[in-house]
Amino acid sequence: MPRKRILILGGTSDARRLASELLAAGFEPVTSLAGVTREPVLPAGDIRLGGFGGEAGLYTYLASGGFAAVADATHPFAAQISQHGFNAARRAGIPYLRLERQAWVPVNGDRWTLVADIKSAVEILPIGARVMLTIGRKEIAPFLARNGISGIVRMIEATPLALPSHWQLILARPPFSLADERHLLITHDISHLVAKNSGGPQTEAKLVAARELNLPVIMIERPAKPAGRVFTCISDLAGALKD
């Protein structure tokens, strides 16, 4: 019997794990990456790079490629590609399944302020705030442009933006340890942490460190993703593809 071809919408460590698991389970996974990272960690199996040219392009790719399903393992904040994946799969008449890490939830001692988007996060920071910004590199410009705040910006790959002198760039790849996060917050005299609610253990230590140090966290809530079958566990999603 021919192996089932599965299009994984990727760009996350979960997507890499999913590709390995599907390969081991006898599927033929093809992982699609947006192509925005210069040195991506590549998953096992076949890979395609770059946008599809919108939902219509993705539909054409699915229909002509003989795919049996779309497995969306994109980041919780990558809302557009998920919607495209959902719509294109429906049009192609194949299942759309999504892998979604559970969101972080505040616990006793946390001082979180939930905000809906980047704009609200920028506005809510008080004058004089020393910020640790951990939202990736795409949306940092409005923070850098705001008067009266300063701090550190951490990301995996350098931004092409020139940082003003009161902001310091830190390049680092998760996972991050609690000791390192604590050290960073203390040595840079941070008063506010700004984070996206990405969920997952790899970048959670900063929240524990902020709690320990009694620091406020501006937590950006997740954008809406499409409906569909949602799994928090890779094996459960792989199992559902066998049905």
Judged by CB under 6 A, the residue of 7, 33, 71, 234 near ligand NAP is 33
Kindly tell me which residue out of 32, 150, 191, 203 binds ligand NAP, with binding defined by CB under 6 A.
32
Q: How far is the CB of 61 from ligand NAP (least distance, A)?
A: 9
51 near ligand NAP, rule: CB under 6 A: yes
Q: How far is the CB of 96 from ligand NAP (least distance, A)?
A: 14
Residue type, position 172, single letter = A
Cα–Cα distance for residue pair 143/27, rounded to 1 Å: 44
**Piece of the chain touching ligand NAP by CB under 6 A; list 28-36, 61-69, 142-150, 206-214:** 28-36
Q: Which range of residues in 80-88, 124-132, 203-211, 235-243 is near ligand NAP by CB under 6 A? A: 80-88
What is the size of the binding site for ligand NAP (CB under 6 A)?
24
Per-residue contact string for residues 1-20; x = within reach of ligand NAP by CB under 6 A: --------xxxx--------
Q: Which is nearer to ligand NAP, 16 or 191 (CB)?
A: 16
Is position 78 an interface residue for ligand NAP (rule: CB under 6 A)? yes
Nearest to 101 by CA among 181, 20, 15: 15
- The 3-state secondary structure of the chain, one letter per residue: CCCCEEEEECCCHHHHHHHHHHHHCCCEEEEEECCCCCCCCCCCCEEEECCCCHHHHHHHHHHHHCCCEEEECCCCCCHHHHHHHHHHHHHHCCCEEEECCCCCCCCCCCEEEEECCHHHHHHHCCCCCEEEEECCCCCCHHHHHCCCCEEEEEECCCCCCCCCCCEEEEECCCCCCHHHHHHHHHHCCCCEEEEECCCCCCCCHHHHHHHHCCCEEEEECCCCCCCCEEECCHHHHHHHHHC
Which residue number, 80 or 177, has a Cβ lying nearer to ligand NAP? Answer: 80
Amino acid letter at 198? S
**47 binds ligand NAP per the rule CB under 6 A:** no
CB of 108 to ligand NAP, least distance (A): 28
Residue 143 is a binding residue for ligand NAP (CB under 6 A) = no
Q: Shortest approach of ligand NAP to residue 186 CB, angstroms? A: 26
Among 24, 26, 42, 54, binds ligand NAP (CB under 6 A): 54
- Our measurement of the distance from residue 8's CA atom to the centroid of its chain's CA atoms, rounded to an integer in Å, reads 15
Binding site for ligand NAP (CB under 6 A): 9-12, 32-34, 36, 51-54, 57-58, 74-75, 77-81, 84, 136, 196
